[in-house]
Amino acid sequence: MPAYREPRRRSPPLPAPRGPLSGTVIDALRTGADHPAPAVGDADPFGDDLQLALYLLYELHYQGFEGVDDEHEWSPGLLALRRSLEEPFLAALRAGTDGDVESALSGLLVEPIGDDGHSVSHFLQDHGELWHLREYAALRSLYHLKEADPHAWVIPRLYGRAKAAMVAVEFDEFGAGREADIHARLYADLMTDLSLETAYGHYLDAAPADVLATVNLMSLFGLHRSLRGALVGHFAAVEVTSSPGSRRLAAALKRVGAGPAAQRFYDEHVEADAVHEQVVRRDVIGGLLADEPHLESDIAFGIEATGLLEARLAARLLAAWRSNSTALRGQPA
């Protein structure tokens, strides 16, 4: 295997715009002009233009972009613009969820039996070809190359049992003190085994809005203290459902002959997340509800919003793959 190259050794270039909103953001980042927030109007809150604009603004808090001044992270005009984009996105998420706390929390305890026709991991396990898995890995790289970073925003907003448990899980995500075991690095190794480009943000232009929305959701929740309960709900939804899905993805990679590093990423999640789900349910959620019981509906919202966006993404991927088409914008990976 080639020597490891840190995916974040440099910031990615700015992508192509997808409409007036993302075009305004890109122009502001390129020129340094502090644009006033544009009218969002009837822009689709789940559409390419708004989601790309949000993604670009959120990335200023992570790795930034090549040639873009780091000081833009706290530009008043860009922050106002971001807020104008967040509001319709958040409203659409709330409109798509019902706030049923009991069913949201209990739903995390149930693993669906068999393939219901809407599961990406079942499709990849049973029918996936190498090109499907390469596309899936390319699209998920927008998150997995910074895995666990968005959830770290919630740590200073927790205390007591919830904080201690959250830090324990994040410690594992960041390699438990071992650079070679950082989950983002393991994902870069997976991409190398699949002959994909590992540079951070490389597949942004190829990612449809449904992918961007799943990443933006974490940043939206993480960057707002008022949404700390929703971020814990998102984290719970991911950790509790990860182990069985990872087992299917590991089996899919083995079946198509992907290398050992590709399989290791998901094998690691089968084992680690089986433990994490107990800690998250009992101590992160349990501790937070013991300290701040009024956040129960926010936790449920985070769980439901995660499910809503993952279902939208699954529908897009499966529709493309079942018609033997690429799920990527532009050329296949």
Which of 307 and 114 is assigned the larger pLDDT? 307
CA distances to 107, 152, 186, 228, 233 from 280, rounded to whole Å, are 15, 14, 22, 14, 10
Report which residue type is found at 60: L
- Check pLDDT > 80 for residue 324: yes
Q: Please state, rounded to an integer, the average pLDDT across all residues of the chain.
A: 90
Return the pLDDT at 145.
96
Specify the residue for token string 């790289």: 141
Q: Which of 76, 95, 114 is the last residue of a domain?
A: 95
Query: Do residues 72 and 143 share a domain?
Result: no
> What's the whole-number mean pLDDT along residues 163-192?
94
- Looking at per-residue confidence, does 313 or 100 come out higher? 313
Question: Are residues 256 and 304 both part of a single domain?
Answer: yes
What integer is the mean pLDDT of 263-282?
80
Confidence of residue 278 (pLDDT cuts 50, 70, 90): confident
The pair of structure tokens assigned to 271 is: 């084992």
User: What's the pLDDT score for residue 203?
Assistant: 97
Q: Which of 14-18, 40-44, 271-275 has the highest mean pLDDT?
A: 14-18
Domain contains 328: no
User: Would 315 be classed as within a structural domain?
Assistant: yes
What would the pLDDT profile of 46-85 be if each residue is shown by its tens digit? 999 999 999 999 999 999 999 999 999 999 989 999 999 9
**Whether residues 133 and 254 fall in one domain:** yes
Q: Are residues 84 and 182 in the same domain?
A: no
Q: Are residues 309 and 210 in contact, defined by beta-carbon separation less than 8 angstroms? A: yes
pLDDT higher than threshold 70 for residue 37: no
Residue 140 falls inside a structural domain: yes
Whether 333 is covered by a domain: the verdict is no
Residues 46 and 191 in one domain: no
Query: Are 26 and 152 contained in the same domain?
Result: no
Neighbours of 28 (CB within 10 A): 21
Residue 45 belongs to domain spanning:
20-95
Per DSSP, which regions of the chain are E strands? none
Does residue 325 carry a pLDDT above 80?
Answer: yes
Q: Judge whether 37 lies within some domain.
A: yes
What is the pLDDT, as a whole number, of residue 225? 97
At residue 136, the pLDDT reads: 98
**pLDDT of amino acid 255:** 94
If asked whether residues 83 and 143 sit together in one domain, one would say no
Domain membership of residue 8 (yes or no) is no
Final residue before a domain boundary, out of 56, 77, 95: 95
Own/partner contacts of 267-274, CB < 8 Å, gap of 24 or more, are 268/181, 268/183, 268/186, 269/183, 269/242, 269/243, 270/243, 270/246, 272/172, 273/239, 273/242, 273/243, 273/246, 274/243
Pick 38 or 153 by higher pLDDT. 153
> For residue 117, what pLDDT band results from cuts at 50, 70 and 90?
confident
Residue 12 placed within a domain: no
Task: Specify whether 112 is located in the same domain as 245.
Answer: yes
pLDDT class for 109, splitting at 50, 70, 90?
low
Give me the pLDDT at residue 2, please: 54
> Quick one: 291 and 268 in the same domain?
yes
d(CA 277, CA 327) in angstroms, rounded, equals: 30
Q: Does pLDDT of 35 surpass 90?
A: no
Q: What is the pLDDT of residues 132-171, one digit of tens each?
A: 999 999 999 999 999 999 999 999 999 999 999 999 999 9
At residue 263 the predicted structure's pLDDT band, cuts being 50, 70 and 90, is confident
13 in any annotated domain = no
Question: Of 38, 65, 95, which residue constitutes the final position of a domain?
Answer: 95
At 310, which CATH number? 1.20.910.10
Are 67 and 138 part of one and the same domain? no
Question: What is the rounded average pLDDT of the residues 291-316?
Answer: 95
Q: How many domains does the chain have?
A: 2
Is the pLDDT at 293 greater than 90, yes or no? yes
Position 141 scores a pLDDT of 98
Residues 24 and 134 in one domain: no
Question: Could you tell me if 58 and 125 lie in one domain?
Answer: no
